[in-house]
Amino acid sequence: MKKFMNSADDFLKESLQGFGAAHQDIVNCHYDPNFITRATPTKEGKVALISGGGSGHEPMHGGLVGYGMLDAACPGFVFSSPTPDQMLAAAEKVDSGAGVLFIVKNYSGDVMNFQMAAEMMQGPNESVLTNDDVAVEDSSFTTGRRGVAATVVVEKIVGSLAEHGGSLQECKALGDKVNKNSGSMGVAFSSCTVPAAGKPNFDIGDDEMEFGVGIHGEPGRRRDKMKSAQEITNELLEAINEDLKPEANEEILLFVNGMGGTPLTELYLIYDNAKNMLDKKNIKISRSLVGNYCTSLEMQGASITLTKLDEELLKHWDSSVHTAAMRWGV
């Protein structure tokens, strides 16, 4: 294992400290229990958005804390769910009285821990469960589909609604809608190594790829031989389209997400290949996002997410955002 680290025990702490120091104009990092909040307190009457999950998926979720997106993020240990004490401490810090919306990826550890936090919380709260991964109907980790890259889209769009005065119920409803309007699928070329484990999460041959992979390298649809980028892209899009069924002339967001170890050069190549295929089907790409947003440590691989956009979703996608990882309109 080659990693920038001093000790596995201090890995997360040192990374959080660096993140907090590098972005002190945007975030505040709190320790024991660990959570990240905006540098400024929540505006009175604004619904507070809290997300979280295992670390190793950066910039999700800490990099998505800031104006127009999350109010707080709770990082667990690498690939391990955060615990309710983190969520409760974060909620206490950022709840302005308008309630808390938890945004949770559908992985069993995350679901159980957020569920417990919600039960223990005194104030009004709701949860949005993302499950955009079309690769599996019954995943290895959870009952049902996994929550992956579309979580970023949910956080952006609901973040905007919350910023513009949406109520807790309205934010919850919009979150569910964005999730329902989204589909994702990923592919991995290489494995990734959790610092504490010290060895790769899974074995994969030089000429192989894991098709339909989850964001921890867990298996999806099948182990395949390598193919051309256009073939891989077509297969990913076909799987998503089969589930999402976008109609001709329907507007969509095309989100090409890197898993951490694939260069932007290749992500843009995927974007080009995806555009080729969507153009043929007369599906209108009206918004784009390309980059490493929902990663799996150093894994080589990528995922594609499509989100069907209506006027409401477009408006909230375009509104200004100022986080460590996403910034526009400011």
Partner 1 sequence: MSVNFLIHRAKEIQAVIDANASEIEKLDQEIGDGDHIFNVQRGIKLVIELEAVIKDLPMSKALNQIAMKVLSGIGGSSGALFGTLFMTMAKGKDIDNGVDYKKAIEIFADGVEAVKQRGKADVGEKTMMDVLIPVSNCLKKGVEDNKDVKEILKEAIEVAEKGMFSTKDLLATKGRASFLGERAKGHIDPGARSSQLMIKTVCESVLNS
In the complex, least distance from residue 304 CB atom to partner 1, rounded to whole angstroms = 24
Stretch that binds partner 1, among 10-18, 109-117, 257-265, 283-291 (CB under 8 A): 109-117
Cα 219 off chain centre by: 18
For residue 231, the tally of other CB atoms under 10 A from its CB is 12
Stretch that binds partner 1, among 19-27, 72-80, 271-279, 297-305 (CB under 8 A): 72-80
Of 80, 182, 191, 273, the one binding partner 1 (CB under 8 A) is: 80
Q: Is 216 a catalytic residue?
A: yes
Q: Which is nearer to partner 1, 53 or 66 (CB)?
A: 53
Under the binding rule (CB under 8 A), the answer on residue 8 touching partner 1 is no
Q: How many residues bind partner 1 (CB under 8 A)?
A: 22
286 interacts with partner 1 by CB under 8 A: no
Give whichever of 219 and 291 is closer to partner 1, judged by the CB atom. Answer: 219
Instruction: Output the smallest distance, CB 109 to partner 1, in A.
Output: 4
Instruction: Give the residue carrying structure tokens 């784009």.
Output: 288
Catalytic, out of 57, 164, 316, 322: 57
Catalytic, 57? Answer yes
What is the rounded CA–CA span in Å between residue 132 and residue 13? 30
Region near partner 1 per CB under 8 A, out of 41-49, 138-146, 264-272, 282-290: 138-146
124 near partner 1, rule: CB under 8 A: no
Using CB under 8 A, which residues numbered 199 to 238 contact partner 1? 218-219
Interface pattern 238-267 for partner 1 (x via CB under 8 A) = ------------------------------
- The stretch among 110-118, 126-134, 225-233, 319-327 that binds partner 1 (CB under 8 A) is 110-118
What are the CA-CA distances from residue 55 to residues 11, 80, 109, 127, 261 (Å)?
A: 10, 7, 13, 20, 16
Cα 240 off chain centre by: 17
CB of 11 to partner 1, least distance (A): 15
33 is a contact residue toward partner 1 (CB under 8 A): yes
When binding is defined by CB under 8 A, the residue of 28, 96, 108, 234 that contacts partner 1 is 108
Which residue in the set 17, 24, 40, 143 belongs to the binding site for partner 1 (CB under 8 A)? 143
Q: Which is the catalytic residue, given 23, 30, 216, 316?
A: 216
- The answer to the question of residue 81 lying near partner 1 (CB under 8 A) is yes
* 94 vs 84: CA distance, rounded Å: 15
- Minimum CB distance to partner 1, residue 31 (Å): 13
Which residues form the interface with partner 1 (CB under 8 A)? Answer: 33, 76-77, 80-86, 108-109, 112-113, 115-116, 140-141, 143, 197, 218-219
Report the catalytic residues: 57, 216
